[in-house]
Structure 1
Amino acid sequence: MKKVLVTGGSGKLGRAVLRDLVAHGYDVLNVDSQTLSDPICPSVRIDLTNFGEVASAILGGIDERGGPFDAVVHLAAIPAPGLVANAKTFANNVPTTYNVFEACRLAKIKNVVFASSETVLGLPFDTPPPYAPVDEEYFPRPESAYSLGKLLDETMAAQFCRWDPELRIVGLRFSNVMYPEDYAAFPGFDSDPKKRKWNLWGYIDARDGAQAVRRSLQADFKGFEAFIIANADSVMTRSNTSLLAEVFPDVPQKGNISTNGTLLSIEKAKRMLGYSPQYSWRNEVGK
């Protein structure tokens, strides 16, 4: 499995994913509505809300950019709530995901990875989480049009896999994506823990997010699975005990909680994907 089509490779996480796949020997085509500024791999501009264009790309119908493709990574979306009108976010993101899944079905592609979101866990946690660390065991609690769309993406993925027992679709619930240049702001978070309570002080280094995508492509199970993808630590130097006592005093604590370990549990991703974060903001600040 070497030829991979990536949607949304021009975005913040997408660029890291393209670099990682190319570095590991994959033949990659990026399709996106935006131009890829770095010549990481071949790139084609398409309208991902147009099923004909999506199907043409995935079925190998673009001149000089033909398939067949062994796998598809779907990252393209309006990337967060509050960037455009709610209806536009929903009308862009959900049909785009359907177009990708359906085109993969027609192309008989059995290996699909897509970007879900940590927001399905109940972010921004104005209503406290049911317990900490949070994991994939409780039913999603979307609190925005963006998050609702991601839940529908996951629901579609499960049903596509029900239709085809040989299909694997992996939904990665990425935390807040960061590059090393973003880490300069992290030491300032300690002064007010409520600044980052909205996602339990989590983050994902884009390079570790890319690792999760690659490991998902290499996974050997069938069906649909969703995974929280965060880094191994929090954005804070204050201890989790102190943070939870101040901000979420009534939230039950589940299992052993380390001093600065992530409160967005990555145990399932470690167990089923072999995911192992390699980067931390603590090693970047002050370089």
Structure 2
Amino acid sequence: MRIALTGSSGKLGTVVARELRNHGHEVIGLDVVGTRAKGFVQVDLTDYGQVIDAFAGVDDQHQGIDAIVHLGAVPAPGLRPDVAIFHNNIVATFNVFQAAIRLGIDRIVYASSETVQGLPFDVPPPYIPVDEDYAARPESVYSLVKHLEETMAIELVRWHPELSITALRFSNVMVPEDYAEFPSFDADAASRKFNLWGYIDARDGAQAIERALEVAPPGFDRFIIAAADTVMSRPNAELVAEVFPGVDLHGDLGTNDTLLSIDKARRLLGFDPQHSWRDEA
């Protein structure tokens, strides 16, 4: 496929661009910052005219695309004032979705967020492991936007039944250089409780994106995307008893299995994470 990748200069985006190209896809990177190169176009996603023009074709780059991977955003709460995060992220995502619809591009995979599950879990989750079955619980403006984006996607695919939009609720994105710090997390269970000690290797994030591009049917769906294990060496039963006593447990937690359930992504996307910090720290 020829794929437009927004946010191509970001932490996840750079790995996704590399992995998709390695698997034979043509990738057109779109970002507000980046290095001049073949396959990269500088675009302000909050400007609808730039977005639809970049998707339609760019001289010496491409003359139309097959699918969109939308990662471009202010990537976390606290990086900019709340109002700036809201205005940037909701407008950028609407522009991407609307431009795709106007151009007849019917396959979109985009970055939602684990924060929609209720992070930082200052209010404990309803049960552990968490999954996609309970209602969104945004606890920040950043997370609120992610929830609104998912709500918007639900309505857009209702209006356009041929459209496929897949929201990937990525956990905390990591690359191998980050793993040296992981052993230090064991000293304080509360330091990483904000997302139930989860993470996602960026390479496995790219795998999830490619699987969704290949197999997601028309309509909308959402998936938690996390590594198969936690960031901790300490066993799950010990961590949960210490930090989340009294929370309902759904089944066997495993010793270090992820507490951000990826069962749905495994079942419907064929997602199969291959990378663990334990192999590379």
Which residue type is aligned with residue 92 of structure 2? T
Structure 2 residue corresponding to 1:65, chosen from 61, 80, 84: 61
What percentage of residue pairs aligned between the two structures are identical? 56
Which residue type is aligned with residue 227 of structure 1? F
Structure 2 residue corresponding to 1:203, chosen from 191, 199, 204: 199
Q: Hey, what does 1:119 align to over in structure 2?
A: 115
Contact 1:202 / 1:230 at 8 angstroms: preserved in 2? yes
C-alpha distance in 2, partners of 1:220/1:211? 13
C-alpha distance in 2, partners of 1:34/1:153? 23
Q: Hey, what does 1:161 align to over in structure 2?
A: 157
Within-5 A mapping of 1:170-209: 170-209=166-205
- 1:56 matches 2:89: no
Structure 1 residue corresponding to 2:221, chosen from 225, 250, 262: 225
Q: Hey, what does 2:270 align to over in structure 1?
A: 274
Question: Secondary structure at the residue paired with 2:215?
Answer: coil
- 1:78 matches 2:77: no
Residues 255-274 of structure 1 deviation map (CA, whole Å, 9 limit, x = unaligned): 22110000000000000100
Which residue type is aligned with residue 137 of structure 2? R
Deviation at 1:36, TM superposition (A): 4.0
Deviation at 1:200, TM superposition (A): 0.2
Question: Secondary structure at the residue paired with 1:264?
Answer: coil
Deviation at 1:142, TM superposition (A): 0.3
- 1:152 matches 2:180: no
Contact 2:166 / 2:216 at 8 angstroms: preserved in 1? no
Question: Secondary structure at the residue paired with 1:217?
Answer: helix
Q: For the aligned residues, what is the CA RMSD?
A: 1.0
Which residue type is aligned with residue 27 of structure 1? E
Contact 2:164 / 2:218 at 8 angstroms: preserved in 1? yes
C-alpha distance in 2, partners of 1:220/1:198? 30
Range with greater deviation from structure 2 (95-104 or 66-75): 66-75
Deviation at 1:46, TM superposition (A): 1.0
Which residue type is aligned with residue 138 of structure 2? P
Contact 1:216 / 1:273 at 8 angstroms: preserved in 2? yes
C-alpha distance in 1, partners of 2:249/2:203? 29
Deviation at 1:42, TM superposition (A): 1.1
Q: Hey, what does 2:10 align to over in structure 1?
A: 11
* Residues matched between the structures, number: 281
Structure 1 residue corresponding to 2:106, chosen from 110, 114, 132: 110
Question: Structure 2 stretches of 5 or more lacking a match?
Answer: none
Question: Secondary structure at the residue paired with 2:131?
Answer: coil
Question: Structure 1 stretches of 5 or more lacking a match?
Answer: none
C-alpha distance in 2, partners of 1:52/1:132? 44
C-alpha distance in 2, partners of 1:36/1:215? 28
Deviation at 1:220, TM superposition (A): 4.2
- 1:43 matches 2:73: no
Q: Could you list the runs of 4 or more consecutive aligned residues of structure 1 that deviate by over 6 angstroms after TM superposition?
A: none
Closer, same or farther in 2 for the Cα pair 1:190/1:95, shift >3 Å?
same
C-alpha distance in 1, partners of 2:260/2:158? 28
Q: What is the TM-score of this pair, normalised by structure 2?
A: 0.98
